[in-house]
Amino acid sequence: IPIERIRNFSIIAHVDHGKSTLADRLLEFTGAIKSGQNQILDKLQVERERGITVKAQTASLLYKYNGEDYLLNLIDTPGHVDFSNEVSRSLSACQGVILLVDANDGVQAQTVANFYLAFGNDLVIIPVLNKIDLKNAEPERVCNQLQTLFDINPNDVLKISAKLGLGIDDVLKRIVTNLPSPVADKNANFRGLLFDSSYDRYRGALSLIYVQDGSISIGDNIASFHSKKEYEVKTLSLLRPDEVPVDKLVAGQIGLLGCNMRSSKEAHIGDTIYHKNTSVEPLSGFHPSKPMVFAGIYPMDQSQHVNIRSAIEKLTLNDSAVSVEVDTSPALGQGWRLGFLGLLHLEVFTQRLQQEYSMDPIITAPSVTYKIKLKPTKQNMKDDSNVILINNPANFPDHLQIEECFEPMIIGTIITPDKYLGQIISLCMERRGVQKSANNIDNERVILQYELPLCEVVLDFHDALKTISSGYASFDYEDNGYQSSNLVKLAILLNGKLIDELSGIAHITKAQTIGRRMVLKLKEMIPRQLIHIAIQATVNGKVVARENIKPFRKDVTAKLYGGDVTRRMKLLAQQAAGKKKMRMIANISLPRETFIDVLKK
Ligand code: GTP
């Protein structure tokens, strides 16, 4: 199929607006799958369970229009806020998008975020309303929202029901007639954009590539621009949506490349692949994704260390947005500190560890990356080390050394029915948010923009918002750099000993409240023991919350009436020895289970 008859596109939508269902229908209408096969593109178990798309999947469709065959490459993109980097990555291989909006729900926060991603990439946008079969669908109102927010002409909006298969052919026609074909040069030297990768047990790392120029064939010697490493092409396939092996991929096509890449480090998202010994300009890659939320992962016991390491390696090959560093903790042993795009991303990752690799590790409380400017010393002035990045509370410097702290900020977009406005504004204020704008998008819905500290959002902001609004408010966010902030280390002490695994970093206005909450939680969780246990939360050396766990007092001599003093002394000595053992545990390392339970929330 000539380049002029290739179309590369994506479907972008808010969660649950029907992207997977529409993708299934497009596959069905073009004969790629039999009717009745659902959610073909959502392959992973997590995705099926949670009903969200985590990992972008891709399929090539053949469509006949005016007697000619067209090749339509559909790139499925995830809908959740945490995965917006996967969306932008996939979009760079497209010329257009289907902007899919639920005709009942209307425009939601991710619709807005995704629209601007596509708009910013100069992509042609095909607006489509889905679920028009619903009784309470309000296509006119949603069309007006699209006009108000994005200047989309209501006459250009297609109205479909992906579920019932209504209007699907119109969507396919629109793709053929409205989208440009890819700009690709068949005769130039081969250049391919690596935009996704996955791990195959037998073939190692597989890369999803978009052939920008020239062609690539089995047996070719290729190289990576990023690493300069060289490979031989072993397998090539199209995704229809199952793999169909081919000998060659040509300019404009998207396909799967196997070339014996062994380790996750080798498949760089955004890399340019080219023929060895040719000279080409690299394709403009993507900004590497930036992890925003960090957590420690430790094996339950060290015998699982090797297995967890290999599972993490394989999962990160499928999900290059996760960053991995080795970490050790006095209480939890050897482990890793992993960086994620957001909290959902972390949850999905740990769920995949469980489901796909049967691993059930300990996950520590999540943290964001803080920037700390230290007071100048001779040493740090000399080697420019006076600004440090910290995502692990254990590394937070003493407050006497700190000149200024900075925390990561985001701009959050919230769309909500106006009756929840008051409570949502209170929530944002409680989370130290600053309102940037508030506008109506129609007579019932409001779009709000807030600047918020990331750490206030990562934990449970989305959940809180959903609870307040009975699920009607939606939220999305983007990075907004760093801002100066009064941060302190909230240290947790057990019998005076600092337990870093339980400590955190907090804004000064919140440290006491969080400290009190944690101390109470620990009191509930630590079992009573033979010795007295003091649980303290401190900030800059001052105690802000304290609870005690009273000891059991077994009076071992109670049953002895007067009598033998030496026997009495012996029993007391035995009891002291017992106490000593308990004290050792309470003072130096608590039973591992205690940590696990406290950290588990
Ligand atoms: P994410 O992958 O999480 O982004 O969701 P999605 O956008 O892929 O949504 P999905 O296709 O899973 O559809 C969400 C829900 O809407 C499912 O329960 C579908 O059955 C339903 N749905 C999709 N299209 C239609 C439609 O045209 N009409 C009706 N009534 N329901 C639909």
Separation between Cα atoms, residue 160 and residue 392, nearest integer Å: 49
| Cα(162) to centroid(ligand 1), Å | 8
Closest ligand 1 atom to 134 CA = 30
Is 51's C-beta closer than 6 angstroms to any atom of ligand 1?
A: yes
Judge whether residue 568 has pLDDT over 80: no
When mean pLDDT is compared across 110-114, 160-164, 320-324, 536-540, the lowest value belongs to: 320-324
| Neighbouring residues of 310: CB distance < 8 A, sequence distance ≥ 6 | none
Closest ligand 1 atom to 42 CA = 2
Closest CA to 537 of 510, 554, 512: 512
Note whether 164 and 137 are within 8 A (CB).
no
Is 240's C-beta closer than 6 angstroms to any atom of ligand 1?
A: no
What mean pLDDT is predicted for residues 418-445?
94
For residue 569, the model assigns a pLDDT of 65
Is 19's C-beta closer than 6 angstroms to any atom of ligand 1?
A: yes
| Cα(340) to centroid(ligand 1), Å | 27
| Strand-pair partners of 453 | 409
Closest ligand 1 atom to 130 CA = 27
| Cα(442) to centroid(ligand 1), Å | 24
Note whether 414 and 489 are within 8 A (CB).
no
**ipTM (interface predicted TM):** 0.97
User: CA of 161: how far to CAs of 14, 87, 134, 250, in Å?
Assistant: 16, 24, 9, 35
Judge whether residue 586 has pLDDT over 60: no
DSSP line for 142-170? HHHHHHHHH---GGG-EE-BTTTTBSHHH
Is 53's C-beta closer than 6 angstroms to any atom of ligand 1?
A: yes
Is 167's C-beta closer than 6 angstroms to any atom of ligand 1?
A: no
pTM value is 0.76
pLDDT category of residue 35 using cuts at 50, 70 and 90: low
Note whether 366 and 380 are within 8 A (CB).
no
Note whether 154 and 147 are within 8 A (CB).
yes
Closest CA to 93 of 175, 174, 210: 210
Separation between Cα atoms, residue 32 and residue 25, nearest integer Å: 10
Is 57's C-beta closer than 6 angstroms to any atom of ligand 1?
A: no
Is 451's C-beta closer than 6 angstroms to any atom of ligand 1?
A: no
Is 46's C-beta closer than 6 angstroms to any atom of ligand 1?
A: no
For residue 437, the model assigns a pLDDT of 95
Q: Could you report the per-residue pLDDT of 91-126, keeping only the tens digit for each?
A: 878 899 999 999 999 999 889 888 988 888 899 999
Closest CA to 407 of 430, 380, 384, 389: 389
Closest ligand 1 atom to 166 CA = 27
Q: Tell me the pLDDT of the chain averaged across its residues.
A: 83
Separation between Cα atoms, residue 477 and residue 462, nearest integer Å: 11
Separation between Cα atoms, residue 75 and residue 56, nearest integer Å: 7
User: CA of 105: how far to CAs of 13, 143, 148, 473, in Å?
Assistant: 12, 12, 16, 10
The single-letter code of the amino acid at 324 is: V
Is 21's C-beta closer than 6 angstroms to any atom of ligand 1?
A: yes
Is 427's C-beta closer than 6 angstroms to any atom of ligand 1?
A: no
Is 131's C-beta closer than 6 angstroms to any atom of ligand 1?
A: yes
Separation between Cα atoms, residue 313 and residue 306, nearest integer Å: 11
Task: Please give the share of the chain, as a percent, with pLDDT higher than 90.
Answer: 37
Judge whether residue 508 has pLDDT over 70: yes
Instruction: Tell whether omega for the bond before 180 is within 30 degrees of 0, i.e. cis.
Output: no
Q: Of 50-54, 278-282, 414-418, which one has max mean pLDDT?
A: 414-418
Give nearest CA residue, ligand 1 atom 26. Answer: 131
Closest ligand 1 atom to 79 CA = 4
SS3 386: coil
For residue 52, the model assigns a pLDDT of 41
Judge whether residue 579 has pLDDT over 50: no
Q: Could you report the per-residue pLDDT of 338-391, keeping only the tens digit for each?
A: 998 877 788 888 888 888 888 878 887 778 899 999 998 877 777 777 889 998
Give nearest CA residue, ligand 1 atom 21. Answer: 18
